[in-house]
Amino acid sequence: MEGCWLLVLGALLLFLPPFLLLGAFGALRFRLKIISYCALCLLFSALAVPVCLLKRGGRSADNMSVVRAFGRLMKYVYGVRFEVKGLENFNIEGPCVVISNHQSVLDMMGLFEILPDRCVQIAKKELLYAGPSGLVAYLAGVVYINRKRTSDAKSIMAEVAQTMLKENLKVWVYPEGTRNNSGDLLPFKKGAFHLAIQAQVPVVPVVYASYHTFYNQARNLFTSGKVKVEVLPRVETEGLTGENVSELTEKCYTMMRKTFFQLSNKAYETHGSVLAAQ
């Protein structure tokens, strides 16, 4: 009897290390893949910098099409495919504020997949120091803000409201304000909506389905996969004032959250109760 237990113990001791190793290997493989993704971003950015400089000599929103062309190559390397609906909702004469959910650094693929012409993003200022990627984003007109200094961020956004009208720019904001891979949307910050109302331009919401089937940081999962994307109809802001910011934020949030659950094949949950997804 005792020999039997010893045998079981022996077998466990024999098989456990490879399993542990396999677990560690999964984590390592995931890390390496993310590092390779960032390295590729840096490499493509480094290639795009001279093209931007030669074409336009400095910072210009027109350079974004150069970055977009390089950015669109990334999906072939990682086997990520996009199924896009509603692209015609980008057909807007003049400026608008585009808002979308932000799950991970992988969003750069989905961003460049559908990015309209003359559209610049709002980014955290830390990205300016990401070597060639920070530089190329600067050359392509990305607006950097310091999230820790709300008053500075607000005054930069107020300037953006002027610039987008003067220079006919679309501005892409991630209203969650940070990456979020939780399988739900974070509450929205209000900057994007102040911006749209100040400039009196429409908001165009874009929703990317949850990456959970092929990418999950907690489970060290990063394989090839398909992402459904939907560009929703514009939300007008003409005639709205500062008093309507919260209402506009809420409206866009609810619309995008419903779409997010639908695209991700999940039952729609209001915070508290559960409703069936349409």
Ligand X SMILES: CCCCCCCC/C=C\CCCCCCCC(=O)SCCNC(=O)CCNC(=O)[C@H](O)C(C)(C)COP(=O)(O)OP(=O)(O)OC[C@H]1O[C@@H](n2cnc3c(N)ncnc32)[C@H](O)[C@@H]1OP(=O)(O)O
Nearer Cβ to ligand NKN (147/266): 147
**Residue range at the interface with ligand NKN (CB under 6 A); choices 15-23, 130-138, 201-209, 229-237:** 130-138
Verify binding: residue 114, ligand NKN, rule CB under 6 A. Answer: no
Crossing angle, helix 191-199 and helix 150-166, to 10 degrees?
Answer: 40
CB of 72 to ligand X, least distance (A): 8
* Residue 138, binding choice from ligand X, ligand NKN, none, Cβ under 5 to 8 Å by partner class: none
DSSP state of 176: T
Beta bridge pairs of residue 91: none
CB of 190 to ligand X, least distance (A): 4
Nearer Cβ to ligand NKN (130/221): 130
- Which residues of this chain interact with ligand X, rule CB under 6 A? 41, 44-45, 48, 67, 70-71, 102, 108, 121-124, 127, 133, 136-137, 140, 142, 145, 147, 150, 153-154, 157-158, 173-175, 177-178, 189-192, 194, 245
Task: Report which secondary-structure segment, H or E, holds 207.
Answer: strand 203-208
Verify binding: residue 124, ligand NKN, rule CB under 6 A. Answer: yes
Q: Is 172 left (phi over 0), alpha (psi -120 to 50) or beta?
A: beta
Q: Mind giving me the DSSP string for 229-263?
A: EEEPPPB--TT--GGGHHHHHHHHHHHHHHHHHHH
Q: Mind giving me the DSSP string for 24-42?
A: HHHHHHHHHHHHHHHHHHH
Contact string (CB under 6 A) for ligand NKN, positions 25-54, x = contact: -------------x--xx------------
Q: Write down the residue that tokens 């990015």 correspond to.
A: 115
Nearer Cβ to ligand X (80/123): 123
Nearer Cβ to ligand X (189/234): 189
Q: Write down the residue that tokens 């999230």 correspond to.
A: 147
Alpha carbon distance 140, 153 (integer Å): 20
Verify binding: residue 133, ligand NKN, rule CB under 6 A. Answer: yes
Alpha carbon distance 128, 113 (integer Å): 22
> Cα–chain-centroid distance for residue 179?
7
With CB atoms as reference, the residue minimizing the distance to ligand X is 191
Answer for which of 99, 108, 140, 203 binds ligand NKN (CB under 6 A) is 108
CB of 44 to ligand NKN, least distance (A): 10
Crossing angle, helix 64-71 and helix 107-114, to 10 degrees?
Answer: 120
Nearer Cβ to ligand NKN (180/262): 180
Residues 167-206 within binding reach of ligand NKN (CB under 6 A): 178-179
Nearer Cβ to ligand NKN (122/232): 122
Contacts of 277 (CB under 8 A, 6+ apart): 258, 261, 262, 266, 267, 268
Chain residues that interact with ligand NKN, rule: CB under 6 A? 38, 41-42, 102, 105, 107-108, 124, 127, 130-131, 133, 178-179
